[in-house]
Amino acid sequence: MNVTIVDYKSGNISSVINSFKEVAKEKVKIEVTSDLKKINSSDKVVLPGQGSFKSCIDALNTINGLVETLNEFAINNKKPLLGICVGLQMFADIGYEETETKGLGWIPGKVTKIDNQNGKYKLPHIGWNEINIMKDSKIFKDIKDKSHMYFVHSYEFIPNDKNAISATTNYSSNHVCAVEIENIFGTQFHPEKSDKTGLKIIDNFMSL
């Protein structure tokens, strides 16, 4: 089996690569590429994302055919895809970071700034926070409710369909920190920075 981490030059993804390789050991081949053929022929795809919604969408669009290939992989062929941080946010129809930007439109909804309640909450939301598991998600197999995950973000994804939400976290308000619809999975937190629990999530995704 091979898992492809999409490298579209959206910031430093070395910790994502290292943690996937650590979990994969010799069992799973990890490829890091923006090669469309390799992405399309892989068994699973990881879409990381660091920086702003707009910068990540722009970076995807810079590689000719990449968005179409991801659509083919996740929407038409229904193969497992995991979005991490802005990788999850890009599933939305639209994001409002920097400027109004069209997303991938895989899970209807929008990405807006977390309400910091007039400065009561610092943004970005950085550090460990507990997650509330909302539904029986395949990537949360053997993960305890109220586990702590590592976050770095100022924007939140608000899906139209609440059934898409697999976990929330409380920071200023309850906001979405994981989604699952059929073969599409996303985490707002960074599993690659969330110690053993995060590695277990990566293992669950690779074991699907």
| Residues labelled catalytic | 85, 190, 192
Q: How far apart (Å, rounded) are the C-alpha atoms in residues 207 and 84?
A: 17
> Strand order of the sheet with strand 173-181?
29-33, 2-6, 44-47, 81-84, 184-187, 173-181, 165-171, 125-133, 148-153
Q: Which helix (H) or strand (E) holds 111?
A: strand 109-113
Q: Collapsing DSSP states into helix, strand and coil, what is residue 74?
A: helix
Q: Find how far residue 27's CA is from the centre of its chain.
A: 23
